[in-house]
């Protein structure tokens, strides 16, 4: 049987973070839309088309030649549902028998084989998947029923043309209606309450790390936690309470990340507390208060360049800056030449001295002293 799929990535204001649909954001190392596409591919979908009003941020779609072909179409907001209708008709014309339509929207671990069998047995034209709260935005549609599909798309997946039998689903699902539910999806994955697996290896019980993740000496990672590919956790930082630091993100010295998600390519500054939040793209969503704020100061929250060449150039600039700051200390006379005794490295005797401190910490000394009382425990 030729089964194909259409993934729709859109969302209202509450279903976004920093203007991006939640379905495009990373969950434990992979964008959620990519995880759903992989689920459809493993089921046996011959062709998967993704329709989105936004382009993906630093995607890494890389399906090998095999069962599924993946097609990405970036379309404008006002043309989304017309594009869905056109893609459905194209698939039907190419010989598809059943087309699965999935709006992200909700994430649900539906048994797709059982859904298709239910659709055939019930002789439905359109089969919606629903839980106790209503439709989940997942449908099985007979490809020959183009008028029914067109009616469904024109009503934005909220109304069927004729009465149909619903497929009742009671397994794991998350409606992703706000940033808090997006964060809960990551927590559930780390606690093994759903089938999402971290992209990487388990370096110790409950702690997962992607390729090239770096944990500096003195940093503390409390299970369960996830560190994405090429991420970096600097000295004295703490990652705890099911937190996720996604690919290429960086947590600076002394910062505590508690029950939070740090999105890809995000840099958190030194000596901060990030709790019950989602951070990235220059913004932080505080989940208990249900507010999202923009952070303008790059010393607190910044973005790393997506391009590898730009990241390499940035690393060279940082290294040159560090060397320039260290030159005065190297070229200055030694204490013995000035007639002053050798400097002490005892912190009890020189609490205000920067001697013995890392060079990059000098400009943040006051932040370290005031903000980080328990970071090394």
- Secondary structure of residue 301 in the 3-state scheme: strand
Res. 10 pLDDT band, cuts 50 70 90: confident
- Per residue in 94-141, pLDDT tens? 999 999 999 998 999 999 999 999 999 999 999 999 999 999 999 999
Provide the pLDDT for residue 216. 97
**The pTM is what?**
0.81
Please report where in the chains the tokens 């936004």 appear, as a residue: 54
In the chain, how long is the greatest CA-to-CA distance?
95
Provide the pLDDT for residue 71. 87
- Strand-pair category, 201-204 with 207-209: antiparallel
C-alpha–C-alpha distance, residues 53 and 205, integer Å:
39
Res. 32 pLDDT band, cuts 50 70 90: very high
Residue 7: pLDDT above 80? yes
Res. 349 pLDDT band, cuts 50 70 90: very low
Provide the pLDDT for residue 56. 67
- Per residue in 262-283, pLDDT tens? 999 999 999 999 999 999 999 9
Tell me whether residue 156 is exposed, middle or buried, using C-beta atoms within 10 angstroms of its C-beta: 0 to 12, 13 to 18, 19 or more: middle
Res. 361 pLDDT band, cuts 50 70 90: very low
- Per residue in 208-237, pLDDT tens? 999 999 999 999 999 999 999 999 999 999
- Secondary structure of residue 100 in the 3-state scheme: strand
Domains defined for the chain, CATH in brackets: 3-174 (3.90.550.10), 198-303 (2.160.10)
C-alpha–C-alpha distance, residues 172 and 193, integer Å:
8
- Per residue in 47-91, pLDDT tens? 999 998 877 666 554 444 334 457 888 887 678 999 999 999 999
């Amino acid at each position: 049987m030729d089964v194909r799929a259409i993934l729709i990535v859109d969302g209202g204001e509450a279903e976004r973070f920093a203007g991006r649909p939640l379905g495009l954001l990373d969950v434990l190392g992979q964008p959620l839309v990519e995880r759903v596409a992989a689920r459809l591919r493993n089921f046996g979908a011959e062709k998967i088309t993704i329709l989105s009003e936004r382009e993906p941020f630093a995607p890494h779609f890389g399906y090998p030649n095999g069962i599924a072909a993946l097609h990405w179409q970036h379309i404008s907001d006002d043309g989304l549902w017309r594009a869905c209708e056109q893609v459905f008709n194209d698939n039907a014309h190419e010989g598809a028998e059943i087309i699965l339509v999935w709006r992200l929207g909700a994430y649900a671990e539906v048994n797709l084989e059982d859904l298709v069998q239910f659709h055939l047995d019930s002789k439905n034209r359109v089969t919606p998947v629903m839980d106790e709260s209503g439709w989940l935005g997942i449908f099985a549609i007979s490809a020959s029923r183009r008028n029914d599909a067109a009616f469904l798309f024109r009503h934005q997946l909220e109304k069927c043309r004729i009465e149909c039998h619903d497929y009742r689903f009671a397994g794991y699902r998350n409606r992703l209606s706000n940033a808090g539910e997006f964060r809960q999806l990551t927590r559930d994955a780390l606690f093994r309450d759903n089938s999402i697996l971290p992209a990487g290896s388990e370096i110790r019980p409950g702690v997962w790390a992607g390729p090239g993740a770096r944990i500096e000496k003195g940093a503390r990672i409390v299970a369960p936690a996830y560190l994405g590919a090429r991420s970096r956790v600097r000295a004295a930082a703490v990652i705890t309470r099911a937190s996720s630091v996604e690919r290429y993100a960086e947590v600076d010295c002394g910062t505590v990340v508690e029950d939070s998600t740090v999105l890809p390519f995000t840099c958190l500054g030194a000596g901060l507390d990030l709790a019950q939040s989602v951070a990235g793209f220059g913004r932080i969503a505080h989940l208990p208060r249900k507010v999202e704020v923009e952070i303008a100061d790059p010393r607190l929250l910044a973005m790393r360049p997506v391009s590898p060449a730009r990241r390499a150039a940035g690393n060279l600039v940082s290294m040159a800056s560090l060397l320039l700051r260290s030159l005065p200390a190297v070229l200055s006379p030694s204490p013995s030449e000035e007639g002053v005794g050798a400097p002490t490295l005892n912190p009890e005797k020189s609490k205000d001295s920067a001697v013995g401190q890392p060079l990059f910490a000098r400009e943040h000394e006051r932040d370290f002293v005031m903000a980080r009382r328990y970071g090394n425990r």
